[in-house]
Chain A
Amino acid sequence: MSRVLVGVKRVIDYAVKIRVKPDQSGVVTDGVKHSMNPFCEIAVEEAVKLKEKKFIKEVVAVSCGPSQVTETIRTALAMGCDRGIHVEVSGKDYEAMGPLQISKIFAALAKKEEASLVILGKQAIDDDCNQTGQMTAALLDWPQGTFASEVTIDGETVKVVREIDGGLETIKISMPAVLTADLRLNTPRYATLPNIMKAKKKKIANMKPADLGVDMVSRVEVLRVDEPPTRLAGVKVETVDDLVAKLKANGTI
């Protein structure tokens, strides 16, 4: 039967206030609270639900990064994934890592693991790229069902209801396929303590991008990271004439 690959990304927790590093090369991550990207949680939940409904046999959780990402993989295992794969990327490679490198890794893994589905979150909350799913599908030449808010498997095809600007779009794509999870797809279950304890016994395989034939060289160089400019206080005016006068005074009109 089929196997699903799920991608999980370790990101800075959404409630934490971000701070730019003094050298402006990035944001401070040392000691900052991290958690699984919320859309990845939804992806994991969907994969586990599909397994519970017996559409698929095995769910493999994959994450790319330094040793800390194994915590994120363990959470995915505690939610119901069967095994994990940790693709080790650290140092400069990790800082420069982006959707292109990740999608190459996932494409290689999807072929290696003979996956019928790759389920990812629609985007990560740290970079908001919304590219990895689409790039992975393109590299594999597989159909893609992105922004999925409902997924139904029917034999060898998948019916995906997608959230689009105008409303909802329903498409039918053949497997193997790439899906990306949107907010309303499901409500992820908690990784409860007994499951975390059981997850310790589940296997996490280690590998490097080179083992998959992927080069991590980035085509993007980050020049500088700045804080957004401080919002200035607004000014209230009494009449329309005042408003026009002020707009003229500061050169807007």
Chain B
Amino acid sequence: MCLWKILVVLQCPSMGCCCKLTLMSKLQVSTFDIQIVQHTNIPVGVEMERFADEADVVIVGGGPAGLSAAIRLKQLAKEQEKELRVCLVEKASQIGAHTLSGACLEPSALNELFPDWKERGAPLNTPVTEDLFSILTEKYRIPVPMLPGLPMNNHGNYIVRLGHFVHWLGEQAEELGVEIYPGYAAAEVLFHEDGSVKGIATNDVGIAKDGSPKDVFERGMELHAKVTLFGEGCHGHLAKQLYRQFNLRENCEPQTYAIGLKELWVIDEKKWRPGRVEHSVGWPLNRNTYGGSFLYHLNEGEPLVALGFVVGLDYTNPYLSPFREFQRWKHHPFVAKTLEGGDRIAYGARALNEGGYQCLPKVTFPGGMLIGCSPGFMNVPKIKGTHTAMKSGMLAAEAIFPKVTAEDPASETAGLHIPEYEDNLKKSWIWKELYAVRNIRPSFHNYFGLYGGMVYTGVFYWILRGKEPWTLKHAGLDSAQLKPAKECTPIEYPKPDGKLSFDLLSSVALSGTNHEGDQPPHLTLKDDSIPVANNLAIYDGPEQRFCPAGVYEYVPLETGEGMRLQINAQNCVHCKTCDIKDPSQNINWVVPEGSGGPAYNGL
């Protein structure tokens, strides 16, 4: 179903300063084109004016990057005794509720941001004590020595519950005077007349499923800033618009992704090894499907383990279900023996970047910049992106601060353009790190798949540290990699046993996800006919399998003949996989009403 959307045309030169309501009917139009002008009558008695406020810097996204940027700005303001208004909006109901990661945190960026993080009570409670790596076969495990120098080596790192860490960052930010507004989603980018970014607007609330305004309808609010930072995480929805608007991706490869699914388990105390980090590759994936598992033993009182499975979204078999691969991996004897007798207490999923160096876009544009996993600074072989995300936020803050507090910013555009941020990125350790590992992920695209990639890593990274003079390319858009269903074999997945493996819907219930039911579905289709005509006909409806929340279902039409796509938007966990992997690129994820989405607690 197309989104019935109420838009405001902000500037009608012929009509002075009024705002006109535009009720969009089923136009074949991208929801980003705010220049659409189709004036129809405004429903009587509906207040269409938007309240606007000004800050010096507005940050979209309360994750590691956004919060680090906010904190750094306020630290500089304090040092130099200058006033700075920093506002941060986050779509989750509380900071950390949409955060999901393994995670083994490398404290490099944290040491720079808060050298006294321990005294401040940062929840880094589990130093890594043991680091295991295996290649799994259906029944056995081949251990691989974790030599120092290999990217996966975790010496000096901490196993963290990233949601809790992000929550702590939020508390530090508030103490420094950052205005944090969780529960408010940035839904629209605002532009000055000269085309530079003016700020953002939060979503309108109280729109019914059919697009009409309910009694509680209220327009979102505009937040204007001299510069706006976009830290929406992997595959942000506003970032998509910015890439197009400012042509930020013309000199880089299209981003490639993976989906990560995660669970938290309370296990039998006898099996608990706090500080142990386990990674595996191999079974149940075949050698040509990139992916693997993680299992971390936390040390926070309870015998808690964080475990999960990552599948590269460049997989080719439309019958593959990342969720079911994850569930069946848990039955491997090496994994099952840790989980037996335990209880699953949490579940979640999120897409992550895999493109690295080759896929970095231009990150500055008039009026704004991109930070964190949104442009994508994840170090894939290390499977760490938090430290680089934080550092990118800090570098952004350091570049912005002198400009935003200057008497005369001397900017060509109303929104400040600060290319110094990009220069600083290129001189920083983020760039060196990403450059050194740039060839590891693409090296999997060879006949030997996984094994070829491991040989390449062993030779070129471990020995040469990425100094080889060539840069390998990725395979292209993830959405273009699927083979038609008739060329592939369906995969026989085992039924969940309810003890180690579980069905999809009970897993989704554990994510605590929910959305206000009576709102337009936020998973929009550009063309309603394509799912059945293309996705189902050629690829057997892969969205039914790659969505980790059961949002997409092909159900028979009430008339009996044919199928239709049912979108259970309420289940969505905001992972963004559908927007990435849809072979028709017909699904467009837009942000739902703020506060909706998962309620992760320390994932």
Beta-carbon contacts under 8 Å, B47-66 to A: 51, 53
| Contact indicator per residue, chain A 1-26, by CB within 8 Å of chain B (1) or not (0) | 00000000000011111010010000
Docked-complex contact B218 and A190, CB < 8 angstroms: yes
Max chain A C-beta neighbours (<10 A), residue from B94, B202, B220, B602: B94
**Residues in A neighbouring B89, C-beta threshold 8 A:** 193
**Interface pair A193/B509, CB less than 8 Å apart:** no
Contacting residue for A33 out of B214, B216, B601, CB 8 A: B601
* Interface pair A197/B53, CB less than 8 Å apart: yes
CB nearest to B94 among chain A residues:
A33
Report whether A15 and B218 are in contact in the complex, using a CB–CB cutoff of 8 Å: no
Q: Which of B288-296, B510-518, B544-552 is near enough to bind chain A?
A: B510-518
- Partner of B97 from the list A33, A187, A190, A197 (CB cut-off 8 Å) is A33
Q: Taking A33-B601, A194-B221 as contacts, is the C-beta distance between A17 and B205 under 8 angstroms? A: no
- Closest Cβ of chain B: how far from A81's Cβ, in Å? 17
Cβ–Cβ < 8 Å partners of B202 in chain A? 193
- 9 interchain residue pairs of minimum CB distance: A15-B514, A33-B599, A194-B51, A16-B512, A31-B601, A190-B205, A193-B221, A189-B216, A193-B184
Contact A31 B602 (CB under 8 A): yes
Give A16 to B94 CA distance when docked, in angstroms: 13
Residue B9 at the chain A interface, CB threshold 8 Å: no
The contact of B93 among A33, A189, A194, by CB within 8 Å, is A33
A202 to chain B, nearest CB (A): 16
Q: Is the CB of B599 within 8 A of A196?
A: no
Contacts known (A33-B97, A196-B181); A188 close to B216, Cβ less than 8 A: yes
Find out whether the CB atom of B167 lies under 8 angstroms from the CB atom of A193: no
Name the B residues within 8 Å of A190 (CB-CB).
205-206, 216, 218
Grouping DSSP codes into helix (H, G, I), strand (E, B) and loop, the B interface class, with mixed when no group exceeds half, is mixed
- Most chain B beta-carbon neighbours within 10 Å: one of A14, A15, A188, A197: A15
B220 near A187 (CB under 8 angstroms)?
no
Interface residue B79 (Cβ < 8 Å from any Cβ of A): no
Interface SS majority for chain A: loop
> How close is B222's CB to chain A, nearest CB, in angstroms?
10
Q: Is B581 an interface residue (CB 8 A)?
A: no
The verdict on A35 contacting chain B, using a C-beta distance below 8 Å, is yes
With A33-B97, A193-B202 already in contact, the answer to whether A13 and B599 are too (CB < 8 A) is yes
Contact B509 A187 (CB under 8 A): no
How far, in whole Å, are A184 and B481 apart by their CA atoms in the complex? Answer: 51
Query: What is the distance, in angstroms, from A187's C-beta to the closest C-beta of chain B?
Result: 6
Q: Known contacts A15-B599, A31-B602; decide if A192 and B218 are in contact (CB<8 Å).
A: yes
**Of all chain B residues, which has the CB nearest A200?**
B179
Is A32 part of the binding interface, using a Cβ–Cβ cutoff of 8 Å? Answer: yes
When distances are taken between beta carbons in the complex, the residues of chain A under 8 Å from B512 are 13, 15-17, 33
B536 contact set on A, CB distance < 8 A: none
Q: A19-B345, A31-B601, A192-B205 are in contact. Are A187 and B216 (CB under 8 A)?
A: yes
In the complex formed, the residue of B with least CB distance to A29 is: B601
User: A35 — nearest CB in chain B belongs to which residue?
Assistant: B93
CA distance A192 to B215 in the complex (A): 14
- Closest chain-A Cβ to B536's Cβ sits at a distance in Å of 31
Q: How far is the CA of A190 from the CA of B205 in the complex (A)?
A: 7
Known contacts A19-B345, A189-B206, A190-B206; can you find 20 more A-B pairs with CB under 8 A? A13-B512, A14-B514, A15-B512, A15-B513, A16-B599, A17-B510, A22-B302, A30-B601, A31-B96, A31-B167, A32-B599, A33-B512, A187-B214, A189-B216, A189-B218, A192-B220, A193-B202, A194-B53, A194-B221, A196-B184
